[in-house]
Structure 1
Amino acid sequence: MSRQQKLGILLLIALIFVFSLFAFRWIKHRMEYAITDAVFVKAEELTNLGFMVSGRVIGMYKMSGDTVKKGELLALIDPEDYRLKLQEIENRIESLKAQKQMLEVQRSRLGGELGSSLGASEYSLKGVRQKVEALKYQLSQVETNLEQARKDLERYENLYRHGLVPARTLEEYQTRYKVLKDQKESILRDIRSLEQEEGRALEGVYASKSKLLQLKELSYQIESLDKEIASLEKQRDLLKRQLEYTELRSPFDGFVAKKYVSVGDVVQAGKPVYALVNPKSMYVEVLLEETKLKGVKVGNKAYVKLDAYPNITFVGVVEAISPASAATFALVPRDVSAGEFTKVVQRIPVKIRIVEGPVELLRVGMGGEVEIERK
């Protein structure tokens, strides 16, 4: 065997050894790591942010790619219409409160007058009526006695004409009759006087009751004003919130992923104005083939290389493994009820949280390759 043949055999053996070593390491690496290029950068906080009120946009203060701070003003809707409505309602509330205060003063004054006059008028009316009843009872007795005195006087006048009784006896009965008659006239005069007094007392009672009705009417008007004021205050609070909503502010620290509208556009409530991303919420989603899932567990390390940064390796940790395949959530799932289907390898979503590497370079939608340790 020549020298050249020997060198060729040695070279072939060396190549076979190197290839075998490479194949062994490649197979060992594939056994120790689950490798796939179905890698996507996503964010848990990717928010389409819009106004909660409608109006014309008069300010847009951020562009796509700009960073934002929590609470920072991003855009502004013309607030003038909301300010005018708010001022109108506040003026109306103040006017109604002034009316209510005036009515309360009237009610307080009327209540004070009523408290003294109604009681006095009713007490006076009751006293007069009691006196009238007493005089009427007295008048009844006097009339009974007067009628008896009249009969006695007629009898004694007849006896006197026949000379059966002396003149002095007749005079006594005449005097008694005259006294009773005068007493009746006096009682009647007193009753008429008391009836006039009763009329005046009754007028006082009616006047007091009229004031009582006025007092109730004032209370009703005040109650109605209270309800109207409460309704307007609710409208005022709503307008205040709407005025605040004319300012669009960032809900978190992050950056602008997309700008949807421009200054001068008229937007409706809820229409997206900006898309914001919170970089701290970014993660890597891996659609791992079901045949590679063996040994992949929560807590395993993962090494991610993105196509945009091929020289940078991001270190992550498996945070979650979906309990269902990605196809389960497809908008048009496969119908296998007829038994006619093509078997395809299903992919299981695996969530990886980046723990090492320049996470500020991540952008939603980036792709790459991942190696996940198997245990």
Structure 2
Amino acid sequence: MKRKVGLTIVISLMMVFSVIAFRWIKHRMEYAVTDAVFVKADQLSNVGFQKVSGRVIKLYKDLGDEVKKSEVIAEIDPTDYQLNLQNIRAKIESLEAQKEQLLTQLTRVSQELSVNYSMSDISAKEVKKREQALEKQLSQVQAQLELAQKDRERYKNLLERGVIPRRTFEEADTRYKVLKDQEESLLKSLEELRLSYKKSLENVSLSRIAFLKQKELKAQVEALEKEIESLKKQEELAQNYLSNTKLTAPFDGVVAKRYVSVGDVVSPGSPVYAIVKPDSMYVEVLLEESKLRGVQKGCKAYVRLDAYPNKVFEGVVEEISPASAATFALVPRDISAGEFTKVVQRIPVKIRIIKGDASLLRVGMGGEVEIKRVR
């Protein structure tokens, strides 16, 4: 009797074991199962002061605090950057004042130059014409004077010999003296005109010097404009640096880590906070290549996390990496010599959670996943 009971128990246990084994095998054929599961986030960012360095004076957020996009979350001491910006603006104001003075001076010189040069040039040309006319007139008078002198000498000889009356000689002498006076007057006028022409030429030369001064003033204005333009670019850069003394959140999210404390000195690029966007979380599965059969985009997946063993999160396969995880290792395996140990490769599979309380997810959590294979 005891033997029959014992046999019955053994048979029952074998049947239970067979059912369990069948179910386990069937489940493994229908599902790809692995415990290489990690919670990650598409938007997990280490944020810090990108262009400036200094002492942290304010931290507005702490671990677990929510942040809004563009919200100020930290500040460093802006004193040095404010002073630099003030100095640049003071230089710009000083140069702008110098430029205004030069422009005023340039306007005055240009106006005077325009009037003086025109008048001097016109005056010189008119004097030259009058000089040429007088020279021509003088030439005519001198020719007449030469004839009158010859007539006077001839009439004087004739008078001394008693050939002509004294009146005829006196008329020739008077004519000679009148022409002589005309010559002297013309020579005097011509000398005055030449002095006037020389003065006009000097005025024209002074006007040309004024042209050079005008050109010099324009060059000084252009040099100031270039310097001001350069300072304005520096001002823009200094303003940018000053605005960067306030750290803002790049997106809506939650503070996952705070790296520094008030009073710490930070350098450009060093992280201050790690911020994660909760609705960007997903599950990454490193699926063995031997289990990849039947796993495609759109396959349903069931995730159990170690932190919540009694909760099942339903998801869907969103991406399957075209390369194994080992491909991107910092120190890849060297198989060029043909000597290597065969290792099962793992393919990254991205699963997006579609059912379940996603707010419970935390980056870095682990667990187990079952992916429904496509037949």
| Same topology, TM > 0.5 | yes
Residue aligning to 1:308:
307
Local SS of the residue matching 2:311: strand
Residue aligning to 2:26:
28
In 2, distance between residues paired with 1:34 and 1:148?
139
Q: Which residue identity does 2:124 align to in structure 1?
A: L
Residue aligning to 1:142:
141
Q: TM-score scaled by structure 2? A: 0.92
Residue aligning to 2:325:
326
Q: TM-score scaled by structure 1? A: 0.92
In 2, distance between residues paired with 1:78 and 1:317?
48
Deviates more, 1:33-42 or 1:168-177: 168-177
Which structure 2 residues correspond to residues 109-148 of structure 1 after superposition, within 5 A?
109-148=108-147
Deviation at 1:11, TM superposition (A): 4.4
Aligned CA RMSD, in angstroms, stands at 2.0
In 2, distance between residues paired with 1:341 and 1:78?
56
Given the alignment of the two structures, is residue 89 of structure 1 paired with residue 88 of structure 2, yes or no?
Answer: yes
Deviation at 1:279, TM superposition (A): 1.8
Deviates more, 1:92-101 or 1:77-86: 92-101
Residue aligning to 1:182:
181
Which structure 2 residues correspond to residues 212-361 of structure 1 after superposition, within 5 A?
212-361=211-360
In 2, distance between residues paired with 1:330 and 1:244?
39
Cα offsets for 1:159-213 (capped at 9, x unmatched): 3333344434333332332222122112112112223332443343344334333
Residue aligning to 2:369:
370
Q: Which residue identity does 2:226 align to in structure 1?
A: K
Q: Which residue identity does 1:28 align to in structure 2?
A: K
In 2, distance between residues paired with 1:332 and 1:238?
41
Q: Which residue identity does 2:259 align to in structure 1?
A: Y
In 1, distance between residues paired with 2:164 and 2:188?
36
Q: Which residue identity does 1:41 align to in structure 2?
A: V
| Alignment coverage as a number of residue pairs | 373
Cα offsets for 1:38-71 (capped at 9, x unmatched): 1111122221211120111111222223322222
Q: Which runs of 5+ in 2 are unaligned?
A: none
Q: Which residue identity does 1:179 align to in structure 2?
A: V
In 2, distance between residues paired with 1:84 and 1:189?
74
Q: Which residue identity does 1:256 align to in structure 2?
A: V
In 1, distance between residues paired with 2:288 and 2:73?
42
Deviation at 1:225, TM superposition (A): 1.8
In 2, distance between residues paired with 1:270 and 1:347?
33
Q: Which runs of 5+ in 1 are unaligned?
A: none
Residue aligning to 1:108:
107
Q: Which residue identity does 1:303 align to in structure 2?
A: Y
Local SS of the residue matching 1:287: strand
Deviates more, 1:101-110 or 1:83-92: 101-110
In 2, distance between residues paired with 1:301 and 1:144?
129
Residue aligning to 1:58:
57
